[in-house]
Amino acid sequence: MKTRRDFIKISAAGAGAATLGLSALSWKGGNSLYASNDQEPVSEEEMTAHSTYCEVCFWKCAGWTYVDKKGSIRKIIGNDDDPHCNGRLCPRGTGGVGMYNDNDRLKTPLIRTTVDGKQGFRKASWEEALDLVASKMKGVADKYGPEAFALFNHGSPGSHFKHLFHAYGSGNEGEPAWAQCRGPREVGFAATFGSWIGSPEPTDIRDTKCLVLIGAHIGENMHNGQVQEMSQAIDRGATIITVDPRLSTAASKSKYWLPIKPATDLALLLSWIHVLIYEELYDKKYIDQYAMGLDQLKAHVKNMTPEWAYGITTIKPDVIRKTAREMANASPSVIVHPGRHVVWYGDDSQRERAIAILNALLGSWGKRGGFYFKESVPVPKFPQPKYPHHEWDWKDNLDGKYPLSSMGITSELLKASIPEFEYKHQIKSWIVAGTNLPLTIPDKELFKMAAESVEFICVVDTMPMDITGYADVILPECTYLERYDYIRSSPHREPNIALRAPAVEPKHETKPAWWIAKQLGDRLGLGEYFNYDDIEEVLDWQLKKMGTSLEEMKKIGVKKYPRTSGALYLQDGEDYHFNTNTGKIELYSTEFEDHGFDPMPNYTEHPQPEEGFYRLIYGRAPMHTFSRTSNNPNLADLMDSNSVWVNPKVADLWDLKTGQEVWLQNQDGVVSDFPIKVRVTERIRWDSVYMVHGFGHTNKKLTRTYGHGASDSKLITNVMVDPQMGGTGMRGNFVTFLTENPEGEVES
């Protein structure tokens, strides 16, 4: 089928031919990517250090970028005062220098063009590209209203474009952080404790006596502060209980690893609740004082015994009892971790409710070694006019569906972009800033239909990510090492802020997101919302109001503030109002009940794989962030592809060997774009396979990672939607092995 917007695999119109010439091998052993030809290390005293906070993942650790006398970035080191990293960046933060050095970076603005019937990109000046995007924004506003322009975003660039969109008159913005990641836990915990978890998680891991991980793989999920604190907890002899069908790194460090049958976690959680209540192990004083709904909960879980759960989960009743008692013994210094990427089976808000309820029964919310009360310092708003009212946003399209969603649902914005779905309000154009939708959103066909339906797509990114192949205009953002962004004000034990300042001038013709947003704003007649020449003015104004200055923050990088909201933990017997309907911790959720949902969680059976198929489980590797980093030269050097983990029994059945390439085909007949290498390992159950998310890139301009491994997102076509908040449950997909090339060409 010929579509309006061909996915552009190779630049046809001559943009950046040099970037294409770099083969995947030429950099190996070549020296173009190491900072200089100096063989000897350069000492820190001979370099200048520039404050930054990291953008390789979204934990945002503060650090120092070291630049040598020749102007080369040599290394990035954590800021000792930063509670996100305590002076120690993770491999991605340390390897952030690769993001700057990557020769595959977007270098100039690009505009889609057709030459001899073939679509490609041509280089454009900023002037021309910005004029074009602004004219499209103006055109949409005139024809359909500004609401028809949607923003997909993630990370720091998103905040600048959100400001632009609010000034322009659109509230249609979505980021995968909600419906493809942590939305359900925010809903589940808000319904129970009246508070989101947020990021960084206020888990007091360093002082915990018992850490319970439900599929959370801290250590592979390299959110720095949590990994550091888990290590401290290990040093202090804390008990770790990990529930995972895979022997994750965290599971290997656990006293108890519960190798659960996938998709049955809720049954285990309910049986733990049963044990805590019926063995009277819960924190009675805490529950009496702070919680409501215990009687209903007790009646609700009456039959949810460990024996009942055994039949579902395959976890033995004595192990269920023993682990429940371990938690109770550690109470209140116990954390049943909410997890982060929790969109699994579509009943995820309910599973998170069960996790929240467990924490309540253990009295851990607001207690040392449990969850602390986080606090952040407000950043004053730079003077600007009030944002205009918008007539509608994504929520108005839902007709009452997903009532507890409080952030834009990316998948719903995609559907609203497709006329066939006949949504009341239609999306006509997009800006995509800092998120690689094709490898992030499940159901790629839906994404492609949406991309083909809209009139215009502008992509802002640092790299030629897969999403850029769908763009009409590509605007090259400089990396975080070359730009300012807004102040990082993080909720933590101690409120604190961090500054990101450029260490070097932007390479090539790249520009910071704040500048791009302002240029568009100025062109749209929204200059009064961008009432400054340089973002330094905004930052200095804000920082001075916060008792410091841009000059001082450049020297210290991180500033801490005293708490003003009260103590880190609840004092014994202290009166406390929870921000729920009843002011209490709700074991019985009145909010859920009001919206017609089960006020207490129930176990629902989910489909299991048919013979010859295996549940597709995906996760993270500590040196990569989603699909963002797979082309980073330093990080690709650590891991340049994913593999599919296969249990030896399954491997025997299929005659698979480690290192052998296979294609994966899912239950709907969808085949991976590329082959993936098998890893035969005892670390995975026989009914499941596992792969690291973020590989299988289809854009050839990503020379180091194109065609390496398989994309889990491509194989996720069965999406189980969470009725409460619109989360896209992605763990209900099953794959089988194709050992011969299915003649599957790279997608066109």
3 state SS for 631-683: CCHHHHHHCCCCEEEECHHHHHHHCCCCCCEEEEEECCCCECCCCEEEEECCC
Closest CB 258 distance from another protein, rounded Å:
9
Nearer to another protein, 96 or 158 (CB): 96
d(CA 565, CA 556) in angstroms, rounded, equals: 25
3-state DSSP call for residue 337? coil
Closest CB 44 distance from another protein, rounded Å:
9
Nearer to another protein, 257 or 447 (CB): 257
d(CA 634, CA 631) in angstroms, rounded, equals: 9
Tell me which residues touch another protein (CB under 8 A): 27-31, 33-36, 38-41, 43, 74-78, 85, 87-91, 94-95, 97-98, 219-220, 222, 224, 227-228, 230-232, 234-235, 247, 249, 252-253, 257, 259, 622-623, 633-635, 637-639, 647-648, 681-686
Nearer to another protein, 197 or 227 (CB): 227
What's the length of the chain?
A: 748
d(CA 446, CA 427) in angstroms, rounded, equals: 14
Closest CB 343 distance from another protein, rounded Å:
24
Closest CB 651 distance from another protein, rounded Å:
12
76: which 2 tokens?
């990035």
Please tell me the number of Cα atoms within 13 Å of 618 on its side-chain side.
31
Closest CB 408 distance from another protein, rounded Å:
32
Q: Which residues contact 576 (CB under 8 A, 6 or more apart)?
A: 290, 366, 570
Bridge partners (DSSP) of residue 329 are: none
Element (H, E) at 100: helix 97-101
3 state SS for 4-56: CCCCCCCCCCCCCHHHHHCCCCCCCCCCCCCCCCCCCCCCHHHCEEEEEECCC
d(CA 414, CA 402) in angstroms, rounded, equals: 16
Closest CB 29 distance from another protein, rounded Å:
5
What one-letter code names the amino acid at 447? F
213 CB neighbour count, 10 Å cutoff: 25
265 CB neighbour count, 10 Å cutoff: 27
Closest CB 375 distance from another protein, rounded Å:
24
Closest CB 503 distance from another protein, rounded Å:
14
d(CA 326, CA 603) in angstroms, rounded, equals: 23
DSSP state of 464: -
Q: How far is CA 626 from the centre of its chain?
A: 8
Nearer to another protein, 221 or 410 (CB): 221
Cβ(724)–Cβ(401) under 8 Å?
A: no
Nearer to another protein, 33 or 398 (CB): 33
Closest CB 634 distance from another protein, rounded Å:
5
Closest CB 656 distance from another protein, rounded Å:
16
d(CA 149, CA 138) in angstroms, rounded, equals: 10
Which letter, b or e, does each residue of 568-598 get, where b requires 16 or more Cβ atoms within 10 Å of its Cβ?
bbbeeeeebebebeeebbbbbbbbbeebebe
Assign residue 626 a region: left if phi > 0, alpha if psi is -120 to 50, beta otherwise? left
Helix-, strand-, coil-residue percentages of the chain, each rounded to 5: 30, 15, 50
Nearer to another protein, 65 or 359 (CB): 65
Degrees to nearest 5, angle at CA 693 with 625 and 696: 105
Element (H, E) at 736: strand 734-738
β 734-738/661-666 pair status = antiparallel
Closest CB 440 distance from another protein, rounded Å:
23
Closest CB 260 distance from another protein, rounded Å:
10
Closest CB 328 distance from another protein, rounded Å:
25
Degrees to nearest 5, angle at CA 390 with 388 and 391: 140
327: which 2 tokens?
């938690």
